[in-house]
Amino acid sequence: MQVKASEKLNIGFVRRGFSSSGGAEAYLRRVAGALMAAGHEATLFTTNDWPEKEWGSGRIMRVPGERPIAFA
């Protein structure tokens, strides 16, 4: 089901770090993919740890912060 342009959402996901076997990463990819298939936009806000080829859905915005307190 596609959404009307007036109902289109721009959704941001925040995830610090990356693990290729991580459940949170797999969940984010599935949710973002489904939202984009429905006509919404998805942006991932993350550190440089997340490889661009592993996102595959929408944009990636790199946020500096090697330590959790800096990322917050």
pLDDT in tens, 14-47: 988 888 888 999 999 999 999 999 999 999 999 8
- Rounded to whole angstroms, the Cα distance separating 67 from 55 reads 22
pLDDT score at 41 = 94
- Whole-prediction pTM: 0.79
Task: Measure CA 46 to chain center.
Answer: 8
Percent of the chain with pLDDT over 70: 85
What residues are paired with 10 via a beta bridge?
A: 41
pLDDT score at 68 = 65
Pick 72 or 60 by higher pLDDT: 60
Percent of the chain with pLDDT over 90: 50
User: Which residue, among 27, 40, 44, 59, has the nearest Cα to 1 in the 3D structure?
Assistant: 40
Contacts of 51 (CB under 8 A, 6+ apart): 18
